[in-house]
Amino acid sequence: MVCRSRLIVMCLLWSIAFKAVGQSVWYNKITDLPAIGVPMVNLSPETGWVFGGAVQGYFRCQNQGQTSMVQLSGAWSVHNQWYVHSKGTIYLGKERTWIVKYNVGYRYYPDTYFLPGNRFEVKPGQSYQSRRVDAEVSALAQLGADWYMGGKVHYLYEDTNIEPVVSMAGIGAVACYDTRDVHFYPSRGLFFQTSVMHYESLNGHFARMQSISSDLRQFVTIYKDLIFAWQLRTQWTFGKDIPFQLQPTLGGEDLIRGVRANMFRDQALMALQGELRIPLYRQLSGTVFAGVGDVYNYHDWQWTMPKVGYGLGLRFAINKAKVNIRFDVARNNLYRTWNTWDSYSFYLSATEAF
Tens of pLDDT, residues 190-248 = 999 999 999 999 998 888 999 999 999 999 999 989 999 999 999 999 998 899 999 99
| Residue 176 included in any domain | yes
Cβ neighbour number for residue 106 with a 10 Å cutoff:
16
Domain-located, residue 192: yes
End-to-end CA distance of the chain: 31
Domain-located, residue 268: yes
Per-residue model confidence (pLDDT) at position 200: 95
Look at residue 354 and tell me if it is in a domain. no
Choice between 94 and 105, residue whose per-residue pLDDT is larger = 105
Q: What pTM value is reported for the model? A: 0.85
Mean pLDDT calculated for residue range 157-185? 94
CATH, residue 129:
2.40.160.50
Torsion angles phi and psi, residue 341, rounded to 5: -65, -25
Structural contact between residues 248 and 265, judged by C-beta atoms closer than 8 angstroms? yes
Domain annotation covers residue 195: yes
User: Pick from 175, 247, 174, 235: which is nearest to 206 by CA?
Assistant: 247
Collapse the DSSP code of 58 into the 3-class scheme (helix H, G, I; strand E, B; otherwise coil) and give the result: strand
Residue 34 binned pLDDT confidence (cut-offs 50, 70, 90): low
Find out whether 350 and 36 touch, Cβ atoms under 8 Å. yes
Domain interval for residue 8 = 2-349
- Number of separate domains in the chain: 1
**pLDDT tens digit string along 54-84?**
898 888 887 777 889 999 999 999 999 999 9
The share of the chain scoring above pLDDT 70, in percent, equals: 90
Q: Are 213 and 232 in contact (CB under 8 A)?
A: no
Q: For 93-201, list the strands marked E by DSSP.
A: 98-113, 126-142, 147-159, 166-178, 189-201
Is residue 52 situated within a structural domain?
yes
Segment (H or E) for 235: strand 226-239
Q: Rounded to the nearest 5°, which phi and psi values hold at 160?
A: -130, 175
Q: Do residues 289 and 311 lie in contact, with contact meaning Cβ atoms separated by under 8 Å?
A: yes
Q: Per the domain annotation, does 236 fall within a domain?
A: yes
Distance between CA 21 and CA 31 in Å, rounded?
17
* Contact assessment for residue 58 and residue 35, using Cβ atoms and an 8 Å cutoff: yes
